[in-house]
Amino acid sequence: MVHIHELAPTIMEAVKAVETGCRKVQDDPHYRCDTLRDTAIFNSIFYGGVAAIALLQLTEKSASDIVKRVPTSKDLLYLTEKDKADAFGVGSITVFEDAMNSFGQNALNPLLKFYALDRHKNAATAAKWLGTFPATIVQSYFAEKENLIPYADHLKYRVLPKLQEWFAPATLFPGSV
């Protein structure tokens, strides 16, 4: 089992995984957007938000792959930490998931902390800037799958360039800022 830092060693790679992943799951019939609940499976459909999209992209899995790896009936099943670790092949993802889902609500601080960038000289500026986008805009992107492309474009053309500007020299490992 790999660690999430091996798959996304920098904040840029994590956000890029969401941007690319949004485009990938757009046409996946086994994926549905859901930012209000934890990752779940219901009727052979995988439900998830920003973190789920990032994990699908980083692990090169489809929603169907996850559904097949988690034994379930027709009942709604919220995936446990163990279910997710087994399905994605990634250990200890709860903190990453929480940070990514917070990012999906325009709260950057948990993701900065995950990547040991919370004390970076640009951390407060970046968090404040991302917070200027209303969370309802991001939530509306996830209300329907057809809105994933505009969200991916938002990340690609607005968010990633700013993160690149602020954090390009910084690397993942603690103390490297």
Task: Tell me the per-residue pLDDT of 40-69, one tens digit each, with 9 for 90 and over.
Answer: 888 888 988 889 999 999 999 999 999 888
In-domain check, residue 69: yes
Strands 31-33 and 45-48: parallel
Distance of CA 83 to the CA centre of its chain: 17
pTM, rounded to two decimals: 0.88
Residues 118-177: pLDDT tens digits? 999 999 999 999 988 876 555 655 556 667 888 899 999 999 999 999 998 644 444 444
Q: Which of 6, 64, 71, 33 is nearest to 149 (CA)?
A: 33
Q: Which two tokens stand for residue 61?
A: 């899995």
Q: What is the pLDDT of residue 172?
A: 41
In a domain, 171, yes or no: no
Asked, for residue 30, whether it belongs to a domain, the answer is yes
What's the domain count of the chain? 1
Flag whether 175 is in a domain.
no
169 part of a folded domain: no
Q: Is residue 43 part of a domain?
A: yes
Q: What residues make up the domain containing 42?
A: 2-164
Is there a domain that residue 170 lies in? Answer: no
In a domain, 42, yes or no: yes
**Mean local confidence (pLDDT), 27-51:** 84
